[in-house]
Amino acid sequence: MRLATSLPVVALVLNFAAFAPKAQSAPPQVVAQTPPMGWNSWNYFAAKVDDKGVRAAADEIVATGMKDAGYIYVNIDDTWEGERDANGVLHTNSKFPDMKALADYVHSKGLKIGIYSGPGPKTCAGYAGSLGHEEQDAKMYADWGIDYLKYDLCSFREAVMTSQAPDDKAAQMRLMIAAYDKMGKALKATGRPIVFSLCQYGWDAVWEWAPALGGNLWRTTGDITPRWDRIYAILSQQEGLEAYAGPGHWNDPDMLEVGNGKLSLDENRAHFSMWAILAAPLLAGNDLLNMKPEIKAILTNRDVIAIDQDALGKQGSRIYSDGEVEVWTRQLSGGALAVAVLNAGDNRYSTHPFHLSLAKLGLRGTQHGKDLWTGKDVELTDDMPLEIAGHAVFLVRIAARK
């Protein structure tokens, strides 16, 4: 979600235990046992999202085979909100005449539906937020049949955090945690399994405290854009967060930009591959109705999706770098291993010669695997030469080692 104000994306080094809410926090719901997969309206449609567009997206997820590949959630981002009535009930605006009917339609396709709000008085786009209406809104979402809530910090920072504790970072953190805890409890109280997605840009080491509030995923950085330098910057910021991801609770480096902007095919493949290595949520954000075949092929690559959705739930790690080339691995169930060799150089038009060191990956002898973008079987040997184009990735699944 694009922020209405310019805010720094830095994590304060604070001890969560000192600032956690005193009340017992809600345990995570039994959802998101693998990273959520689906589609979100913001990256391409932003404020243009409407009922018709969401129905069309649901139709396309089924028609394109994305549903069969694992994409389940159809998520409405900001700008669906209308005004609250005298009883505090939030009504939808004219773009969404009947949210319950829309949810029923999405469910009829065998899909789930998500919605957006925030703990402040206003959302990022200036629509009504949930401040003071958390329980009321959560019940309304459950009554509609909502399955996923993205909860975006935005105006809460100015309206509550800095206004109530202008010079006290620790107090600001307590206020923020309490706000997310309140909605987490409200969602749990509905009795409906609703994925709780915290969107607060990685501030205050959110990965340390979000699971205790019932958070199923949490943004680790500021917003993504369809530019390689931004995608790579976000990728780099995931290093060191591996221990916080697992079934039911995931680091979220933001939605996919596959198919958006002027990303090359190599950049789109690399973006998708590295999000799979990260065990990241796979939330497509492109125009599904006008999706090119090559973009569909990326988003529905079952072998790459299987890496992301691996039941072991271990997030991958950057093992070593050699010049412009980085080598990441991810441990998979059954003893298999995913290896991604990424040319992260500045020039996407230059090929970078590279020799893969199996020894640095803890591997000995010839390794048998599958190139997940060509579909071909490969044999990997120590000091193996690879030619990798700029911003391209060599992604291989190595069979369980005996």
Residue 307: CA atoms inside 13 Å, Cβ hemisphere, count? 31
Residue type, 263: L
Joined tokens for residue 353: 């010669």
Burial of 79 (0-12, 13-18, 19+ CB in 10 A): buried
Query: From CA 390, how far away is CA 343, in angstroms rounded?
Result: 6
Q: Considering the candidates 77, 137, 204, 223, report the single residue annotated as catalytic.
A: 223
Residue type, 327: V
Query: From CA 238, how far away is CA 1, in angstroms rounded?
Result: 19
Joined tokens for residue 342: 């990424």
Joined tokens for residue 247: 């079934």
Own/partner pairs, 235-243, CB within 8 angstroms, 24+ separation: 235/274, 235/278, 237/202, 238/278, 238/315, 239/317, 239/318, 241/207, 241/315, 242/314, 242/315, 242/316, 242/317
Q: Is 104 a catalytic residue?
A: no
Closest of 195, 285, 271 to residue 238, by C-alpha: 271
- How big is the chain by its Cα radius of gyration, in Å? 21
Joined tokens for residue 101: 């009917």
Q: Is 223 a catalytic residue?
A: yes
Closest of 40, 38, 71 to residue 285, by C-alpha: 40
Instruction: Name, in order, each residue with C-beta under 8 angstroms of 51's C-beta and a sequence gap of 6 or more.
Output: 95, 96, 97, 98, 102
Instruction: Name, in order, each residue with C-beta under 8 angstroms of 383's C-beta and a sequence gap of 6 or more.
Output: 355, 356, 357, 358
Query: From CA 35, how far away is CA 70, in angstroms rounded?
Result: 10
Q: Considering the candidates 51, 152, 266, 310, report the single residue annotated as catalytic.
A: 152
Beta strands of 5-49 (E only): which ranges?
37-40
Provide the b/e sequence for 307-323 (b: ≥16 CB within 10 Å). Answer: bbbbeebbbbbbeeeee
Q: Could you list the active site residues?
A: 152, 223
